[in-house]
Amino acid sequence: MKRWLPIGAAAWLVVAGALALAEEQRNMSPGMATGMENAFPVPFRALQFQNVVRFEESNRGDRIYRVEPEFRWGLLRSGFVSLRAPLAFGSGVSRDSGSLNVQGFYNTSRETAALPATAFVLGTTLPTGHDSAGLDGLIRGILTKSAGWAQVNLNAELNKIGAAQPAEREYRYRFGAGADFGADNLVRTGLFVEQSESKGEVPLWRMQAGLFHHFTPTIAVALGAEVGLSRSAPDYQVILGYQHTFEGFR
């Protein structure tokens, strides 16, 4: 029964957001309702603060609370840098809780009538967290294409684990596909598959949906839900997000 509650909540969010469909929304970051990212940067020279809170029940029944504050700076017209410090509380907490994630985003091409916008992300995780060891790295490719009032996104990511144990994978992939609809009320969806940490476990399949709402041009909130589609994935997750963009540094 618990597994179907997030699906019902996600369906309600889709219906609510569909009532306010409009022009495409730029700069959609992972964590704001879903884990999908589009190929558009934050505004040039803007500072953006984002905080995501997650409540998760794992496939083993553990309850985990996650807090993920993040700062972004529009260093370039086509790119930005970000600093994130995710924290986790509760049983079954990841050993990387408190590690610093540093990433650089760059938009490599603009969207045209025929071709999607493209971007890539390079990042590293510093071993500053609980029980963390080694320097991790990641590379992510992003494609974004608008189709009417919808915006389709594809994400492909490869992670390099710096201090993987013998039973753990050194390289892990993650793929995501989703679509966003609307403007001030933005419906977000995503389907993800990623390799598990342990070599003996099957890939994790997740489905997410949620609503992203702009209160003002610079302040937004998000509400999302996730359900695990494979036995290795968390049973469900509820996602709350807040985002504030400061553009007075031009």
Report the pLDDT value the prediction gives residue 231, as an integer from 0 to 100: 87
For residue 249, is it within any domain? no
Task: Assess if residue 152 is contained within a domain.
Answer: yes
For the domain that residue 193 is a member of, what is the CATH number?
A: 2.40.160.40
Query: How confident is the model over 77-111, as pLDDT tens digits?
Result: 999 999 999 999 987 666 668 889 999 999 999 99
Higher pLDDT pick, 42 / 249: 42
Does some domain include residue 248?
no
Q: Is the pLDDT of residue 21 over 60?
A: no
Considering its fold, how many domains does the chain have in total? 1
Mean pLDDT score of the chain: 87
Query: How large a percentage of the chain has pLDDT more than 90?
Result: 62
- Which pLDDT belongs to residue 228? 94
Query: What pLDDT is recorded for position 92?
Result: 63
pLDDT of residue 2 exceeding 60, the answer is no
pTM passes above 0.75: yes
Domain with 168, as residue range(s), is 4-243
164-205 pLDDT, tens per residue?
Answer: 888 889 999 999 999 999 866 899 999 999 998 888 889 999
Asked if the structure places residue 81 within a domain, the reply is yes
Pick the range with the lowest mean pLDDT from 22-26, 100-104, 114-118, 191-195: 22-26
Using a CB cutoff of 8 Å and minimum separation of 24, what contacts does 163-171 make? 163/127, 163/133, 163/134, 164/134, 167/198, 167/199, 167/200, 168/197, 168/198, 168/199, 169/195, 169/196, 169/197, 169/198, 169/199
- 154-167 burial, b at 16+ Cβ within 10 Å, e below that, comes to bbebebbbeebeee
* pLDDT, tens only, 120-166: 999 999 988 777 778 999 999 999 999 888 999 999 999 998 878 88
pLDDT digit string (tens) for 65-79? Answer: 999 999 999 999 999
Asked whether residue 250 is assigned to any structural domain, the reply reads: no
Q: Predicted confidence band at 16 (pLDDT cuts at 50, 70, 90)?
A: very low
